[in-house]
Chain A
């Protein structure tokens, strides 16, 4: 007698759900919890921020939505130097990070061999110490009595009692360091994807190693460079920790201003206007990228 196979059937509640809602709603059901969370705790607050930026008043008197566009112009006028400084610092730091990270990523991708994964882990490891501790460590490294300052003084780059701390240089150095992993990883990923036979083909077609790099490797690693640049510049522009710990009060970044406006001065409309301006500027940098790469690329 042939054994009977009992096939487990779909439980009744599942059948009911499927009947009522149909196949097509499954994706939406999956999206709802997370999506709602983001809508409620990201979109709403940001929209709210836009509203606050157009209010006026003080903490004591309360705030009123008066569509005060002047908040923006006032804020920009007062803090234009901080804005510019932020973008300059972030730009220099991003460029420096690119210069440092690209050869490192290249070395791991093309010379790493069996140790590629290990080397990648080693690139990430320093970022497992707290952000603040790392930045404070730079305070030690760049201290006036430290080795670095001493060396720079002796070769004449720094004046006799020149400092690194409390200057823009220290801040930029801190920012470059702190976001280096964000630059290295995307570049590594796009370099790793390059088929090595493409480089051999270029050499077969009379390209010297330098030319092969410029004509084949570099263009093909461009997506990684763009991603790394964005991932570095965005947090760098809004950072204020490095400026606070390594810089001086005369050279604040826009992040410092927003922080103090919000938490100390309690001038919410101005702070909101500044925040929103920062966000708009950054978005305007990203939009051409999105247009070129398409939205699928955004979430990898």
Chain B
């Protein structure tokens, strides 16, 4: 009856290997899955350095920096980028304002027509983009509205509202009402309380919603395709170029966008870490 010093008794070497694999199989899988997720990104980045022959950029030909040096060579490309940024900014801004108001109503008040509102907000998210895009196109046609920059903005605002509501609502739900009551106890009226207490505290959620809307708008293709008329956004440029050959400068900008957004995300994470 000896006191044993180690906790695992008599597990043979082969059993040890099996249990090691079993315990780490999941982490190993996660690493593989993440690799799978990043594979196309790696390809995009890599092919921005491809010394391609001809107009297509599908086979690897050697390393070069010339596309990065001549990034602005193609006029339409850069213009399409600017257009996309403008549309994204405008639509995200308006959608965030409209959506935040709705989120406030849903979380703070009980009213009749709640289910209808929820349904109305949900439907755009559940409708395939082809239907959203084509219905708006038909609508514009009936109204005789020319399709262009502003019709795209309008469309983007429309589908962004739902996502904004979902994001802000999540943030609002966790918000402590006591803080507002404390403010009112200290002589702030409703408007001051909103400005000084509520708004600052939900700002991270509102900002996150803005970013989400921006990203969704910037990357949108299908709906934009239906409603853009002659206006060309970045995704539309790529689509148009896909048939005749996508210039590597597209990869350059794609990589740049990726790098910028990743940095923003990490800065945001670091800031959040500092806050808590």
| Interface residues in chain A, defined as those with a beta carbon under 8 Å from any beta carbon in chain B | 5, 7-11, 14, 24, 26-28, 30-31, 33-35, 37-39, 41-46, 48-49, 52, 100, 103-104, 106-108, 110-111, 117-119, 121-126, 128-134, 136-141, 143, 145, 177, 180, 230, 234-235, 237-241, 245, 254-255, 258-259, 262-263, 268, 271-272, 275-276, 278-279, 282-283, 286, 295-296, 298-300
Contacts and interface: CB of A to CB of B under 8 A. Distances in A.
Point out which of B117, B135, B250 has the most chain A C-beta atoms below 10 A from its C-beta. Answer: B135
Contacts of A100: 33, 36
Contacts of B109: 26-27, 30
Given A30-B102, A38-B121, A239-B128, 15 more contacts: A8-B192, A10-B189, A33-B101, A35-B117, A45-B138, A52-B138, A122-B37, A128-B215, A128-B262, A130-B219, A130-B234, A136-B44, A263-B226, A295-B118, A298-B121
Nearest to B39: A141
B90 interface: no
B130 interface: yes
Nearest to A165: B58
Contact of B128 (A9, A106, A237, A262): A237
B61 interface: no
A38 B158 contact: yes
Given A104-B29, A107-B26, A268-B138, A37 B118 contact: no
27 contacts: A5-B187, A10-B190, A14-B189, A30-B101, A33-B98, A34-B102, A34-B165, A37-B158, A45-B136, A46-B135, A49-B135, A49-B138, A107-B27, A108-B30, A119-B30, A121-B265, A128-B215, A128-B261, A131-B219, A134-B44, A138-B40, A255-B128, A259-B225, A262-B226, A275-B131, A299-B106, A300-B166
A140 B123 CA distance: 36
A40 to B, nearest CB: 9
A258 B118 CA distance: 29
B43 A140 contact: yes
B40 A103 contact: no
Given A45-B136, A143-B58, A299 B121 contact: yes
B134 A49 contact: yes
A107 B40 contact: no
B135 A180 contact: no
Interface residues of B, number: 93
